[in-house]
Amino acid sequence: MLVSTLNNTSQAELIRKQYDSITAGNEMKWDVIEPSEGKFNFTNADTIADFAQYSGMKLRGHTLLWHNQVPNWLFKGPDGQTGTAIRDLLIKRLKNHIETEVTHYKGKIYTWDVVNEVLSDKSAGLRGEDENSHWKSIIGDADGDGYDSDFIELAFKYAHEADPNALLAINDYNLESSTTKADAMYDLVKRLKAKGVPIDVIGMQMHISIAYPSVSQVKQAIEKFASLGVKVEVTELDMSIYSSPSEQEKKATDSILSDQAQKYKELFDLFKEESQKGNLISVTFWGSADNDTWLDNFPVKGRLDAPLLFDRELQPKPAYWAIVNSNKLKSHK
Ligand code: G3I
């Protein structure tokens, strides 16, 4: 959630009552935490951390390394304004950022999304310049193992050193709907674990829709990842009522809400099963209610969606009742 969400007393009350874990939405991302090099601003994130603490809720950390929502200076030369960072400079910045942020929240965060969306959407490898990420091309492969994942390995190393007790996650989207991406994640984590990189969790964002993917695809992905000996967390769950960007805005009719409820129910039945098997350890929604969703502006700006368990008036939707009748619900962005 955003810190501004707390200004709405009813929304804050809903969060406190219905969820037991918070993710600080945008407030722990690099551009908010370290807008200028070496100048850290924890104000908003601390407000959320304090809210979690006095409400008796847990806190999830999101995110230490991403290609999005990063300040301009990060990939520039030493003056932060001109040129391009070289490997050593970018590593120095990465180390300082992770050490400072993770140390600040040491003992307060149960899982950190250490790296976010590092997999390519185009190939089986890592995201690079053609997909707006400079991490791989600048840091490269200098440890001589033939893989360009040094930046990921370093991020996990620094996070683990700063808070050895926090669980550390690699987080990504479409892992349940794209087998290419799921295979890429599997291969990457397998290799990194064999190298001793401290990865505990694969985070499945799970931005899905009523139409796809199927619940059995979700099951397959969770079990594939868990077979690596890591845990799975569902980190950004929402279920759009649309199945394509070209669909016109529509009202969430009773029939749509009932389909959504059915799919949420099947999904949470699976989550319960996977949690009992020890594979899945948390489920987090990306937003607290339908008045608080990024999907109103994605993939179509201004097209209102209804992806969560509570409506715009903060009332429970059929999906909520479908879940609470068979599962105990507790988790939140
Ligand atoms: O802060 C400015 C504000 O000053 C300005 O008036 C306003 C005008 O559009 O923009 C505000 O910034 C927006 C920011 O959210 C804060 O609300 C950005 O435009 C907007 O792009 C940004 O979107 C965020 C998005 O990540 C950026 O990639 C969403 O809120 C956030 O929910 C979303 O979260 C990501 C996860 O971190 C990773 N997984 C996917 C997920 C959804 O995209």
Options 27, 113, 117, 305, the catalytic residue: 117
Q: What is the predicted pLDDT for the residue at 1?
A: 80
Mutate to test the pocket of ligand 1, among 2, 5, 26 (most ligand atoms within 8 A of CB): 26
Q: What percent of the chain has pLDDT over 90?
A: 93
Q: Which residue has the higher pLDDT, 146 or 140?
A: 140
Q: Is the pLDDT of residue 313 over 90?
A: yes
Average pLDDT score, the chain: 96
Residue 12: pLDDT band with limits 50, 70, 90: very high
Tens of pLDDT along 35-51? 999 999 999 999 999 99
SS3 of 133-175:
CCHHHHHCCCCCCCCCCHHHHHHHHHHHHHCCCCEEEEEECCC
172 is catalytic: yes
Which H or E run contains 60?
strand 58-65
61: left (phi over 0), alpha (psi -120 to 50) or beta: beta
Q: Which residue has the higher pLDDT, 20 or 326?
A: 20
Q: What percent of the chain has pLDDT over 70?
A: 98
- Which tokens go with 118? 């590092």
236 is catalytic: yes
Mutate to test the pocket of ligand 1, among 294, 298, 305, 308 (most ligand atoms within 8 A of CB): 294
Give the mean pLDDT of 294-314. 98
Residue 328: pLDDT band with limits 50, 70, 90: low
Q: How far apart are CA 11 and CA 312, in angstroms?
A: 10
Q: How far apart are CA 143 and CA 25, in angstroms?
A: 34
Q: Is the pLDDT of residue 4 over 90?
A: no
Q: How far apart are CA 135 and CA 137, in angstroms?
A: 6
Q: How far apart are CA 6 and CA 109, in angstroms?
A: 19
Q: Shortest CA distance to 251 belongs to which of 304, 309, 320?
A: 304
Please tell me if the CB atom of residue 68 comes closer than 6 angstroms to any atom of ligand 1. Answer: yes
**Residue 119, strand partner residues:** 126
Residue 145: pLDDT band with limits 50, 70, 90: confident
Lowest mean pLDDT among 130-134, 136-140, 329-333: 329-333
Q: What is the predicted pLDDT for the residue at 7?
A: 87
Which residues, at least 6 apart from 7, have a Cβ–Cβ distance to it below 8 Å? Answer: none
Residue 327: pLDDT band with limits 50, 70, 90: low
- Which residue puts its alpha carbon closest to atom 42 of ligand 1? 294
Task: Tell me phi and psi for residue 132, to 5 degrees.
Answer: 65, 25
CA quadruple 140, 144, 148, 154: dihedral sign:
negative
Which H or E run contains 21?
strand 21-23
Q: What is the predicted pLDDT for the residue at 256?
A: 98
Options 150, 153, 176, 236, the catalytic residue: 236
Residue 149: pLDDT band with limits 50, 70, 90: very high
Q: Is the pLDDT of residue 329 over 70?
A: no
Please tell me if the CB atom of residue 172 comes closer than 6 angstroms to any atom of ligand 1. Answer: no
Q: What is the pTM of this model?
A: 0.96
Residue 220: pLDDT band with limits 50, 70, 90: very high
Q: Residue written as tokens 């929502």? A: 69
Tens of pLDDT along 78-107? 999 999 999 999 999 999 999 999 999 999
Q: Is the pLDDT of residue 333 over 60?
A: no
Q: How far apart are CA 242 and CA 249, in angstroms?
A: 8
Q: How far apart are CA 25 and CA 23, in angstroms?
A: 6
